[in-house]
Amino acid sequence: MTILVTGGAGFIGSNFVLDWLAGCGEAVVNLDKLTYAGNLSNLASLQGDMRHTFVQGDIADTALVAGLLAQHRPRAVLNFAAESHVDRSIASPGAFIQTNVVGTFALLESVRAYWGAHSEADKATFRFLHISTDEVYGSLGTGEAAFSETHRYEPNSPYSASKAASDHLVRAYHHTYGLPVLTTNCSNNYGPFHFPEKLIPLLIVNAQAGKPLPVYGDGQQIRDWLYVKDHCSAIRRVLEVGKVGEVYNVGGWNEKANLEIVHTVCSLLDELKPRADGKLYKDQIAFVTDRPGHDRRYAIDARKLQRELGWAPAETFETGIRKTVKWYLEHPHWVEQVQSGAYREWVAQQYAA
């Protein structure tokens, strides 16, 4: 028994692969393009593990994907592969269309051909699980109900629009061709191996380097925060017993304003690694010009997943954020390794104001 994971060297994908192999003996074929956010060092602990086969490649490479499907005969394909950073999508939207839309289409075509050649019994047990985001639903106002699975799609950034398009393609391949698909839409993830362009790891890295801690606008943008290992457990549950064709929202029940996140991280760093000069990390907070079209609030209603599949997050935000800060403090080599010259140039450009 084998599963194929795409994007399995990225943040969520690598956490999933590690959790999967820690919890069961089923082999994983891991396909990742290794863009700037894909990192083989995330998977260093699997070196020599015969259950893990890594292949560098693009989901849009139909010949490569078809070959992997024919060779390894996976019972499921889990699609984590995506460009995922809103700021980068604003600066360079083309890459997001190519990977998230064209790439997902190509992957679906490859999988459809592979699945179509199965016996009826094997067709019935095969699954294609597409991992997506709550950002496809747009922005919520204060007091509005959290996103449910039936909320209207209203994407507001090139990133969320490209993910919305991929969600629609997955849905269409189920309704048109009968492909047995599942889709999950998750809230903001945080945890180990998170590339430090995103808020929480950026704060931890900049704080230790004595750099400003950039906060967009007034810092009152609200997000629902989900510890990445809880997300992985939800995906395993959906793959195991999710109903074909259904969408499941995955959230942590942790709505927090960005500025509150910043202060929480600063307080943990004050406790776990105080500044040498005795000052507080919050003194490094710097408000910067807000991003264009910045969504004000996201919130996930994960009751369907809990009610129908019996899933609930194991971590509170307080336990998860402490584990996350400690992980970054204990893995300085990983942080140093991912901070290439291109990354530093990006951060300087993005937060210069």
Mind telling me the catalytic residues?
A: 134-135, 159
φ and ψ at 238, to 5 degrees?
-65, -40
- The Cα–Cα gap between 7 and 92 comes to 20
What is the bridge-based pairing of β-strands 27-32 and 285-288? Answer: unpaired
- Could you say which DSSP state residue 281 is in? G
Indicate the SS3 state at residue 25: coil
What is the bridge-based pairing of β-strands 255-257 and 222-227? Answer: antiparallel
Query: Which amino acid is residue 248, in one-letter code?
Result: Y
Whole-number Cα distances in Å, 308 to 243, 246, 256, 295:
9, 11, 26, 30
Which helix H or strand E contains 317, and what residues bound it? helix 317-330
DSSP string, 184-217: EEE-EEESTT--TTSHHHHHHHHHHHT--EEEET
Give the full edge-to-edge strand order of the sheet including 222-227. 188-190, 222-227, 255-257
- The Cα–Cα gap between 115 and 113 comes to 6
Question: Closest by alpha carbon to 240, among 317, 157, 311, 152?
Answer: 311
Which helix H or strand E contains 132, and what residues bound it? strand 127-133
Plot region of 135 (φ>0 → left; ψ -120 to 50 → alpha; else → beta):
alpha
